[in-house]
Amino acid sequence: MADYPNEEHIVKILECELVTHNVKRFKLSKPDHYIFQPGQATDIVINHPDWKAERRPFTFTGLNDWDHLEFTIKIYDDHNGVTHTLGTLKAGDELIVHDIWGAIHYKGEGTFIAGGAGVTPFIAILRQLQKDNALGGNQLIFSNRTEKDIILKDEFEKMLGNNFINTLTGEKNGQYDNRKIDTAYLREKIKNLSQYFYICGPDAMVENMAKSLEELGADKSKIVIEEF
């Protein structure tokens, strides 16, 4: 990631709630004149002496014209780390947000490919497109282990309809594909290779997806991944 930004804003947690069994939505107070674009991110610190040295990047999932900030964060309870502690916080607790940086920028209509919590940069992008009546033919291919892991399933279904494609790697339920996203799967699902492709997820997945798309004939300059 780029050099740590120095700007700091103390914000309060207004609300926090589960959106899946292990993903929480945090609604935070918004600093004055704090402007970001859909797909961008910031570093967050828990405002407590024990955690002041631990900065983690998270993507904004709300829109800039909202009167509050929103983050949708996967909580890992298998060790006593930052997200575990975030999961124990409640309304009134404080966080520190920093400068706004990079991440993924929307460049034009295309296919979004996400693995698990990697969908978070796409949430604000797709919400903004919906607000602007500009969703067009954008589609989301979303890979998760099980159905209960699908973040914002109902919202994406309402937003994208048949352009919301789910595949589950650890569960067969008859409703969704039970496939790993690989070259063969992409060949089946993507008919237009001249469009933009947005990829976010585990590093190995991003690398493999980009390679698969290039093998299929996608324009490398139209493959968009996180910028740090």
Give the phi and the psi of residue 42 in degrees, each rounded to 5: -145, 170
Among 154, 157, 204, CA closest to 180: 204
pLDDT tens over the chain, length 228 residues: 445 557 899 999 999 999 999 999 999 999 999 999 999 999 999 999 999 999 999 999 999 999 999 999 999 998 889 999 999 999 999 999 999 998 899 999 999 999 999 999 999 999 999 999 999 999 999 999 999 999 999 999 999 999 999 999 999 988 999 999 999 999 999 989 999 999 999 999 999 999 999 999 999 999 999 876
CB 121 within 8 A of CB 59: yes
Q: 9-101 is classed in which CATH architecture?
A: Beta Barrel (2.40)
Domain extent listing, the chain: 9-101, 110-224
Q: Which two tokens stand for residue 81?
A: 């780390």
Please report the pLDDT score of residue 79 as a whole number: 86
Please report the pLDDT score of residue 228 as a whole number: 64
Please report the pLDDT score of residue 2 as a whole number: 44
| Edge-to-edge strand ranges of the sheet holding 9-20 | 56-59, 41-46, 94-101, 9-20, 23-29, 68-74
CA distance 42 to 44: 6
Please report the pLDDT score of residue 5 as a whole number: 53
On whether the 110-224 domain is CATH 3.40.50.80, my answer is: yes
Residue type, 72: T
Distance of CA 181 to the CA centre of its chain: 18
